[in-house]
Amino acid sequence: MKYVALLRGINVGGNNKVAMSELRDCFERLGFSNVSTYINSGNLFFACDETDIAALIHKCEVAIEDRFGFIVVATVISKDDFEDALDHAPGWWADGTQGMRNDALFVIAPTTAKEVLTELQKKTSTVDKLDSYGQVVFWTLPMADYNKSVVPKIIGTPIYRRITMRSSTTVKRLLGLF
């Protein structure tokens, strides 16, 4: 089965620096096959027979801590679930409208997308559009209204630590790399 691991906080702001070649080697040593990365921010593809997502997440997180000496939180999503989520993205998400910011917030278990959406909606403004499917929360807003958005309000909160965010451009590229 094919998966993508989305690692939270790799190579961000000069912290948790990891060369992608070393990360690939780490995952290959776990016995995963077809290991590849996309950009330098913790997007890692692999294949294996394991179907227990919680077990895969644990395996990835432990291996990274053992190899690199710091804790990284991860989410793992299968190719099928990734495709399914994007097939169910709301029509307004990443629809090509100029001047819009479109992100996908991948929820880190055991937190659910419903919990993240509920927290975001408590703080949301009229500029944000939010919806979810599977373990993905879809978010869109006009770039000019970013400071009015919910996202700056959640940075540093417990719910923010339970997501890893990717732009729609990155998400679509990841889908094409499976």
Which pLDDT tens digit goes with each residue over 134-158?
999 999 999 999 988 887 888 888 9
Is-above-0.75 flag for pTM? yes
Using CA atoms, how far apart are residues 136 and 104, in angstroms rounded to an integer? Answer: 6
8 Å CB contact between 79 and 3: yes
Which domains are seen in the chain, by residue range? Answer: 2-81 (3.30.70.1280), 88-177 (3.30.70.1260)
* Whether pLDDT at 62 is above 90: yes
| DSSP type of residue 166 | E
Residue where the block lists tokens 């190899």? 67
* Whether pLDDT at 82 is above 90: yes
